[in-house]
Structure formats: C-alpha cells, structure tokens
Structure 1
Amino acid sequence: MDRPHLPLNALRAFEASARHLSFTRAGLELCVSQAAVSHQVKRLEERLGTILFRRLPRGLALTDEGAALVPVLAESFDRIGHTLERYADGRFHDVLTVGVVGTFATGWLIPRLPDFRVRHPFIDLRILTNNNRVDLAGEGLDYAIRFGDGTWQGAEADRLVIAPLTPLCAPALAGRLKSPADLAGETLLRSYRADEWPGWFRAAAAPCPPLRGPIFDSSVTMAAAAMAGAGVGLLPAAMFRAERDEGRLIQPFATEWETGAYWLTRLKTRIESTAMCTFREWLLSA
C-alpha cells in the first residue's frame, strides 16, 4: 500500500506554533514569515478537516484536536533528530546503553572511558547508574554491569573484576583500630546485604558485634560517609584505589572477604549488536 503524502512543512509549522502559541515566534524559529507559518497551518487544517488552533486577539489556543496531535509530532520530530545526529562526521554512530552499579562506574569504568572513546569514536555510550537493582528488559538496556555471583535468571554473564570487601575508614578513625576486635567500639556502616559484616568477621576470626550503624544502598555513598568520619565502611577496596592513594580512606586490616564480583550481563534473548560485541571485548581486555 502506498504511504499517503505527508505535509512535513505544515506539520513542522504546526508543532512550532503549538510550542510557542504564536505564529510569529514559530516563524522566527523556522526562519520564515509569520504569514508563511499561518498559511501552512491553514493548509494542514483544511487537509485534516478540523480546526487545530483558536485564533485569539493575542496569540493562539490549541483546540482538543490540536492538543491531541502535538505529543505525536513532538516525539516523532525528536526521534528523527536523534537519528540524524547519529550520522555526524559522515558515519553512522551506534548507540549503546549500559546500566552500571555506581561503585563500578566511579571506581573503574569512568577513568577508562577516554581510552574507549579514542578506540571506538563511533559508539555513543550512554551510562545509567543504579544501586545494583536493574531490569535489563524494562529499562531497555543493552548491558548491565552489576555485583553478585553471576547467576541472574535469563541473563548471560561475563566476570569482569573480583572485588573483595574490607573495612575502610577515615585516617583519624583508623588510628584507633589495632585489631578487628576494636571495631566493636565503632559505628559500622552497613549495606542492604545483611551478611557482609558477619562474613568479614568470620574471615578475620573475630566475633561480630551487634550491628546498628546506618544502612546505605550504594557503596559510593557509604564511602563518602566513611571519609567524613561517620564510621567504618565495609567496601570493595579495589573500587576506591584513588581515595586510598590520596589518604582519604585507610584500610586498617589486611583481611578481605570475597562475596562476589562485578559482571557484564545481557539478556540471553538479546542478539548482540556490533557495538555490544565491541564494548564487551574492550571491557574483558581492559
């Protein structure tokens, strides 16, 4: 079936007029006269057989029919614009959307993004951070980088980095910690995983004290609290190398507890695009 001819100029004139509620301001945006915009909108109304604007003494008001058309056109023009942007530099840019747990994003991925950009300039990487709770299908993600044991229903997983947990704290607080038993007198910052501190104390062969410290849904915010002297955080030291090198976080004990790793995951039903394969290979090699 032949597609009906779309009056694109008239549709664009209407969409701009609807945003500004003014033919004059729409004309300025489109670099045409007010009369030309008004004429295009009039042609569109005649074609549709309905009135889209009420002409007021000062400006315009959308009719119900006009208001129903606006969001459809706005979304369509936005999608066209975004697609055309992907042809910058005379080559099509692949878009890759990755959900990343915030700790891995700040502690590992972001410092390495310049290298990825230099190597693969035609992949537009879009990063959405989360607190390890992610829905690959519902959020429209190509990949998700998350922490755990690598078993997520319906997902393929490649292990990226092992990041055992260990206590980290501010320098002033570290001076009071001579042995794991000394932690009983400090505020122990917790994650929503209730087994972490008990697991670390078992690895340290020390009794776990009652846990009453504040609970965080992100290691990044827990680390910020630890640096502020709010308590001792049980954190993946490998993700806070810069803070440790700068002396803002101190690791008072050598004991580490391995509870999981960071994994690159995708839906088993998701066919890998060229951009996905490129990103996966870069991650695993890095």
Structure 2
Amino acid sequence: MTRRYIPLKSLRAFEAAARHLSFTHAAIELNVTHSAVSQQVKLLEDQLNCPLFLRIPRGLALTPEGETLLPVLNESFDRIAQLLDYFAGRKVQEKLKIGVVGTFATGFLLPRLSAFYQKFPHIELQISTNNNRVDVAAEGLDYAIRFGSGAWHGTAALYLCDSPLTPLCTPELAAQLQHPTDLLNFTLLRSYRRDEWTAWLQQAGGPQLPPTHPVIVFDSSVTMLEAAQTGIGVAMAPARMFSHLLRSGRIQRPFCSEISFGSYWLTRLQSKPETSAMREFAQWLSAELVANTDLNNSAEMQKTTTGSSL
C-alpha cells in the first residue's frame, strides 16, 4: 500500500481552524496570515479529496469528514507533546480539555481548582467557558459541563446536581418584595428561556406577567447577576451557583419558592474512550458535589426574612 504523506502544517492549520471555527483566529494562534491557513486547509482537502469545512455566511462549520478527523488530530498532537516532554526529561502531564457553562464555572468549579491541582498535579486542565452552547467534537473537548435534561445526541452524560431558579436581587429591592405581586413594580431579568418568570409566578401563587412588562434578557447568568447587583432589576437565577454573593450580602433571595428547568451534567462523546485523567476528574467532581454544603444545605442560601415564606 502506498503511504500518503501530508504536510504537518496542513494538519496543524486544519486543527486550529476547526477548534476556533475561524481561519482568522487560527492564523492568530499559529502566527501566520489568514491566507496561509486557508491555503493549507485547501491543500489538505485536495489531498484527502473531500471537503473538511462548510463555508457559511457567519463563519465555518465542520463537514462529517472534518468532525471525524478533528478528535484524531487532537489526541495525536497531545500524545506527541507528551512524548517530547518525556524525552526532555520533564514529568509527563496529562491534558484535559473541558468546556464549562459559565454559571457552573464561576459558581462551583473555579473556586476549587486549587484543591484539584493539589490532589492531581499531573493533570493540566484547559478550561473554556460558554453560555451552554458547545460543540464537543469541533472544540476537541474531553468533557463539557452542560445545563439541561441530560439528553444530547451521541453523548454520555453523568448527573452532577440540580440548580433550580429563584428571584435574586439587591438587599434594597428585597426589602420591597413582601409578596410575588410586588415583582410587577420592577424590571425582571431572565435568560433566553421565555417562560422562566411566568412559570415561577404561577408556582409561587403570583399574578400573571403582563405582556408589556419590562424584561431584560441575558445570555449568561453571571452577567445577569452583575447587572442585578447594580439594582437594575430582579434576576431569575440559580441561587446555588451564587452562594458567594448571598453570603456576602450583596445579593439576597426574597422568596423561598424555586423552579427547575434542568440540571448540570458532565458530558463526553460516546465515541471518545475515557482516559485515566478523565476518570480522575469525574470522580473528584462528583465527590466535591456530594461534600459541598452550598449545594445541599438550604440554610446556606441565606434567605432574607423580610420576604414571603413562599
């Protein structure tokens, strides 16, 4: 069989462009021009006799062939780097690429990274945050921590924890919220889910939300709580992921009633075999969630006594 030789720089250009879904961002990473990345990808497509990208108006999308090639290259480049470290006399580090929805990252994961590295100094975490929209294959991720039902096509999902939503606001606004009806006096903040406030008000025995009521929509709960701290309105957010703000007193929870739209899950592609680093991370994360009182003890939520007991 004739062996096919493909330039390494063509594979590198494709791998970077596929991770970013952008020739421009790949060029910045590789310190070359946009044209150079485009040419190397075109050369690779010609040699493989198949398209690897779909050129769409808003950027790039991987073809099925590109989705198949990307994880193989990710793993191959990582193995090459580990072997070179070994030859250089350095201790081999296991890399773990994780995509995390921003709320879980700031509310739980990031404050515990120091403890993780003390226990697993041989694992190098590469963390990227998102607003719950992630492409595990295209980004070359080992794991993605997502919020939802746990059902994603071609994905294995490990349940992590529930994180129901409830109104959160500044102490000044909380003092004015004695009953859910009082919420109609304030701007309401929510995520892309249109029915969050409607569902919560119905469960809490509150009024219907008028169609013209002022609402501000955010693509991130983290950003939403930054806005809520300015006093602009009342946020519908997962209190358990903002226990640090509740403990500090900068944010209060005026009502006990909460509503669930999903849970947090640790997910990976079913086609991707688990590495020892992946197993160690999953076991550590599950143990931390079980032991964490912020997620299991409602007393830690510091519900204000000035509001309703709903």
Is the TM-score greater than 0.5?
Answer: yes
Question: Aligned pair in 2 of structure 1 residues 259, 79: CA closer, same or farther (>3 Å)?
Answer: closer
For residues 39-58 of structure 1, the aligned pairs below 5 Å read: none
| Distance in structure 1 (CA, Å) of the matches to 2:79 and 2:182 | 61
1:213 aligns to what? Answer: 215
Provide Cα deviations, 1:63-108, integer angstroms capped at 9, x if missing partner: xxxxx99xxxxxxxx9899557855874210100000000000000
3-state DSSP class of the match of 1:208? coil
3-state DSSP class of the match of 1:198? helix
3-state DSSP class of the match of 2:215? coil
Question: Aligned pair in 2 of structure 1 residues 109, 80: CA closer, same or farther (>3 Å)?
Answer: closer
- 1:86 touches 1:94 (CA, 8 Å); kept in 2? no
3-state DSSP class of the match of 1:97? strand
Provide Cα deviations, 1:109-159, integer angstroms capped at 9, x if missing partner: 011111110110000001000000000001111000011111111111111
| Distance in structure 2 (CA, Å) of the matches to 1:232 and 1:224 | 11
- 2:188 touches 2:214 (CA, 8 Å); kept in 1? yes
Provide Cα deviations, 1:182-226, integer angstroms capped at 9, x if missing partner: 001110012111121111112102123234311100000000000
3-state DSSP class of the match of 1:92? coil
Percentage of identical aligned residues: 51
Q: Which runs of 5+ in 2 are unaligned?
A: 4-38, 41-76, 289-310
Provide Cα deviations, 1:159-192, integer angstroms capped at 9, x if missing partner: 1111110000011111111100100111001211
Please provide the CA RMSD for this pair: 2.4
3-state DSSP class of the match of 1:266? strand
For residues 253-272 of structure 1, the aligned pairs below 5 Å read: 253-272=255-274
| Distance in structure 2 (CA, Å) of the matches to 1:85 and 1:168 | 50
1:20 aligns to what? Answer: none
Provide Cα deviations, 1:14-49, integer angstroms capped at 9, x if missing partner: xxxxxxxxxxxxxxxxxxxxxxxxxxxxxxxxxxxx
For residues 49-128 of structure 1, the aligned pairs below 5 Å read: 83=82, 86-87=85-86, 90-128=90-128
Greater CA radius of gyration, 1 or 2? 1
| Distance in structure 2 (CA, Å) of the matches to 1:263 and 1:178 | 35
| Distance in structure 2 (CA, Å) of the matches to 1:83 and 1:229 | 50
1:32 aligns to what? Answer: none
2:173 aligns to what? Answer: 173
1:230 to 2:223 alignment: no
1:251 to 2:266 alignment: no
1:202 to 2:205 alignment: no
For residues 184-199 of structure 1, the aligned pairs below 5 Å read: 184-199=184-199
For residues 23-38 of structure 1, the aligned pairs below 5 Å read: none
| Distance in structure 2 (CA, Å) of the matches to 1:183 and 1:139 | 41
| Distance in structure 1 (CA, Å) of the matches to 2:232 and 2:84 | 46
**Residue type of the alignment partner of 2:228:** A
Question: Aligned pair in 2 of structure 1 residues 89, 249: CA closer, same or farther (>3 Å)?
Answer: farther
| Distance in structure 2 (CA, Å) of the matches to 1:81 and 1:95 | 12
3-state DSSP class of the match of 2:112? helix
| Distance in structure 2 (CA, Å) of the matches to 1:82 and 1:153 | 31
